Amino acid sequence: MKTKNGFTLFEKNSEIGPWLKKQKVTRKITRLQVHHMDLPNYSTWEKTDKKVFSEPHFGRTQSLNDYGRRTWGREASDGHGHYIAQHFNVFPDGKITTGRNLNSTPIGIRGWNQNAICIEIYGKFDKGHDKMTKEQKKAVIYLYGELCKRFKIPVDTAHIRPHCWFTAGGSYLGKYNSSRSAKTCPGTNFWGVGCSPSGFNKFLADIKEYVNGKEAQASPIDSEFKPYIAKVNTNGLNARKGPGVEHDIECILDKGVAITIVEEKKSKDGGIWVKGKAGYWVNKKYMEFVKFI
């Protein structure tokens, strides 16, 4: 994580959650907006940003801020020295920068800015244009997922909406309409499916999976769990300090070693992990059931 001129750059997705937790947000947040930048697009990123700015994420963020000040003047001020319309920018390489202060209303969707957080995804995701990179897609899921958790926002279209479901005047259409929508934003091929209600739902399903996955992390699988003995069925099995590959390795187990299993949990990625009596965790798929004790 780095900061420059009051903007923060997240270099890893895992930095977003802890940062959000630390922010003092007094404004009520109940809505998340979905945008693509349109211009700049992926070609701007490669041919301009990476060449002209010493640090392209900060360079582009500053440039968007300057644009805001030039275009809207003092009216766009967030009260903390920034004029950029949005709260977050998600870049093609999966890095994210902050924009305006979370306590200030964004300039994103007319009629739907109150209580909203505005997120701009760098690129042009209309049919025949940019195809979202894997890194960017992952960062988008993380950001929306962490925002939903932080502000307890339900993952549905009452609370998360794309720009193109509104007219330029701010009327809500509830779907993209080529003749009535303000823009195609976040793109007629957003998420590889576009912004029809069923297409946009695919995006929401990915956010929902992230939010639910994190919740399931700490929950026991079965309250009726009975301890049992199991044998390691592979060589060099990593035994970890917690249920999931993100935890440190405590020791390595050889094939055939028998362990008394005292607990089972779902890991973040949905796998099942079991805890041995000695306190370490292993992935259940590498264990062979022997008998209940």
Site for Zn ion in 185-214 (CB under 5 A): 185
Nearer to Zn ion, 163 or 284 (CB): 163
* Token pair for 157: 């279209």
Q: Is 35 in the site for Zn ion (CB under 5 A)?
A: yes
Based on its alpha-carbon atoms, the radius of gyration of the chain, rounded to whole angstroms, reads 23
Ranges of H-type helices in the chain: 16-22, 42-44, 50-52, 56-72, 134-151, 197-216
Measured CA to CA, the distance from residue 68 to residue 228 in angstroms comes to 63
Nearer to Zn ion, 106 or 243 (CB): 106
Please choose, out of 35-43, 99-107, 223-231, 236-244, the segment that lies near Zn ion by the rule CB under 5 A: 35-43
Measured CA to CA, the distance from residue 9 to residue 16 in angstroms comes to 10
Please choose, out of 9-17, 32-40, 87-95, 276-284, the segment that lies near Zn ion by the rule CB under 5 A: 32-40
Q: Which residue has the tokens 């946009």?
A: 200
Query: C-beta of 150: minimal distance to Zn ion in Å?
Result: 22
Query: C-beta of 185: minimal distance to Zn ion in Å?
Result: 3
Query: C-beta of 120: minimal distance to Zn ion in Å?
Result: 7
Nearer to Zn ion, 35 or 87 (CB): 35
Q: Is 57 in the site for Zn ion (CB under 5 A)?
A: no
Nearer to Zn ion, 35 or 137 (CB): 35
* DSSP conformational letter for 49: I
Contact of 244 with 267, CB cutoff 8 Å: yes
Measured CA to CA, the distance from residue 198 to residue 107 in angstroms comes to 27
Please choose, out of 29-37, 88-96, 140-148, 224-232, the segment that lies near Zn ion by the rule CB under 5 A: 29-37
Q: Is 95 in the site for Zn ion (CB under 5 A)?
A: no
CA dihedral defined by 217, 116, 114, 85, rounded to 10 degrees? 160
Nearer to Zn ion, 39 or 51 (CB): 39
Please choose, out of 1-9, 13-21, 74-82, 184-192, the segment that lies near Zn ion by the rule CB under 5 A: 184-192
Please choose, out of 55-63, 129-137, 159-167, 257-265, the segment that lies near Zn ion by the rule CB under 5 A: 159-167
Compute the half-sphere exposure of residue 11: CA atoms within 13 Å on the CB side of its CA: 6
Measured CA to CA, the distance from residue 220 to residue 86 in angstroms comes to 39
Contact of 32 with 148, CB cutoff 8 Å: yes
Q: How many residues bind Zn ion (CB under 5 A)?
A: 3
Nearer to Zn ion, 104 or 238 (CB): 104
Site for Zn ion in 99-158 (CB under 5 A): none
Q: Which of 87, 95, 163, 266 binds Zn ion (CB under 5 A)?
A: 163
Please choose, out of 6-14, 27-35, 72-80, 231-239, the segment that lies near Zn ion by the rule CB under 5 A: 27-35
| Phi, psi (rounded to 5 degrees) for 7 | -100, 145
Contact of 127 with 196, CB cutoff 8 Å: no
- Which spans of this chain sit near Zn ion (rule: CB under 5 A)? 35, 163, 185
